Amino acid sequence: MIEANQHNAELIERILRLKRQRNAIILAHNYQLGEVQDIADFVGDSLGLSRTAAKTEADVVVFCGVHFMAEIVSILCPDKISLLPDANAGCPMADMITAERLREEKKHHPGATVVCYINSSAAVKAESDICCTSANAVRVVESLDAEEILFIPDQYLSHYISTKVRKRIIPWPGFCSTHIRIQPQDIITLRQEHTQAKVLIHPECRPEVIALADEVLSTGGMCRFANETETRELIIGTEIGIIHRLRKENHDKKFIPASDQAICPRMKLITLENILWALEEMTTEIKVPEEVRLKAKAAVDKMLESSI
């Protein structure tokens, strides 16, 4: 244990030194390993990370998250170097749709406005009218002057939105392979064991799980809710990496993961070792081709400019 701590301390020192030399910033998603969150300059949800990426003055952004997140940096700030410490850290849900398949689907719904969840590739964003995250999905769809929405790629987020707005939502059959592991019975059992607890559920979960929630929130929304609530016990229905941040920020509260199966293997590919390697070798750089970037940027900008 002492050796492991010593090893981490050395890694952290080298990362911080290189970070200064390269004028780099480290951004981490709420699902990252605890030690990765702890060295980041900013930890947040997809919306918060996109906003931070859009205004950073750093020359290099080390993105501790998944591929589509590092693409957002390239889309919004093409002059910056966007590094993903493990090139295999892709989101399986984002891979459930391609630009080509979306183009085909659009032909079947010529009157529909295409809203893409941020968990999608730059090429798919380039084929979409506006982007959204789990934090603003309902408000984005509500704000559109359109009755028919083709919502891609998450069928469960799409279903959740359809319960909140009076528009026709056409879903795409994608899903998050981590959130579907949370089962209704997990919540029912935990509620019986923790009768005073509030249940926070991410909208990527199945509708039967969402139906059992007290609050349906993005990961950033969960962190804010936990900070502000008087409730001492919270059952957390999302990827378990967020528990590290919740406990760190709220010593007086108890956080119970809805399921210990809710682990995103791709998020966990990022380690202190490969962050150091990324900064040493300036790899793997994620760069979106200019033609795709300009179209994808229009969809992301529309979301950011509407400030919802």
Binding site for ligand SF4 (CB under 6 A): 66, 91-93, 119, 176-179, 204, 239, 264, 266-267
User: What is the closest distance, in whole angstroms, from the C-beta atom of residue 159 to ligand 13P in the complex?
Assistant: 16
Element holding 3 (H helix, E strand): helix 2-22
CB of 53 to ligand SF4, least distance (A): 17
Query: Mask 83-122, x = binds ligand 13P (CB under 6 A)?
Result: --------x---------------------------x---
Q: How far apart are CA 69 and CA 90, in angstroms?
A: 9
Number of other residues whose CB lies within 10 A of the CB of residue 13: 11
Counting Cβ atoms within 10 Å, is residue 166 exposed (0-12), middle (13-18) or buried (19+)? exposed
Question: Between 15 and 223, whose beta carbon lies closer to ligand 13P?
Answer: 223
Q: Does the protein bind ligand 13P through residue 37 (CB under 6 A)?
A: no
Task: Report DSSP state, residue 112.
Answer: P
Contact 174, 129 (CB under 8 A): no
Q: How far is the CB of 135 from ligand SF4 (least distance, A)?
A: 14
CB of 66 to ligand 13P, least distance (A): 6
Count of residues touching ligand 13P (by CB under 6 A) = 12
Site string for ligand 13P, 118-147 (x = CB under 6 A): -x-------------xxx------------
CA dihedral (186, 189, 194, 195) in degrees, to 10, reads 120
Q: Is 283 helix (H, G, I), strand (E, B) or coil?
A: coil
Q: Which is nearer to ligand 13P, 160 or 276 (CB)?
A: 160
271 phi/psi in degrees, rounded to 5: -130, 170
Task: Give the footprint of ligand 13P on this chain (CB under 6 A).
Answer: 30, 45-46, 91, 119, 133-135, 176, 204, 218-219
